[in-house]
Structure 1
């Protein structure tokens, strides 16, 4: 799968939305996409975004951005 600069942790788009990490979970709203943990550098809100939306995202809390994807935590493993 190709790697795009906008999906690299630390990438900040023009609206101040920062990629924190890939969750590794598939998108529930866009087939073939992975959900990324996003962070608003203005208000600190964390939310999920599809990889293809990162460059355009606005904060859902204060910039009238779309709600975003649910953030899920990976299940604990018995093996470390």
Structure 2
């Protein structure tokens, strides 16, 4: 899997949108893309975005950015993360 600077947690674009984490969920708008958790550094609005447009994103709340993708909670894991 190719890793781009704009999908690295901590990356902040020129509009003040910062990458919090990779969700691991597929994008509903862009097939083949993964949703990333973004936060606006100005108003702290949190939303999801496909990896391909993180570098261009504007906040959907106050910068007239396009609506973000839904952030979903990860499914609960019934098995411990430790190996036995």
TM-score range, shorter chain: over 0.9
The DSSP-based 3-state class of the residue aligned with 1:77 is: coil
**Residue 44 of structure 1: how far off its partner (Å):** 0.3
CA distance in structure 2 between the partners assigned to 1:45 and 1:39 by the alignment:
6
Structure index of larger Rg: 2
| TM-score w.r.t. length of structure 1 | 0.98
In the other structure, the counterpart of 2:44 is 44
Runs of 4+ in 1 over 3 A off after TM superposition: none
Residue deviations 1:34-73, cap 9 Å, x none? 0000000000000000000100000000000000111001
In the other structure, the counterpart of 1:63 is 63
For the aligned residue pairs, the C-alpha RMSD in angstroms reads: 0.4
| TM-score w.r.t. length of structure 2 | 0.94
Structure 2 unaligned regions, length at least 5: none
Structure 1 unaligned regions, length at least 5: none
In the other structure, the counterpart of 1:19 is 19
**Residue 2 of structure 1: how far off its partner (Å):** 0.5
CA distance in structure 1 between the partners assigned to 2:73 and 2:22 by the alignment:
11
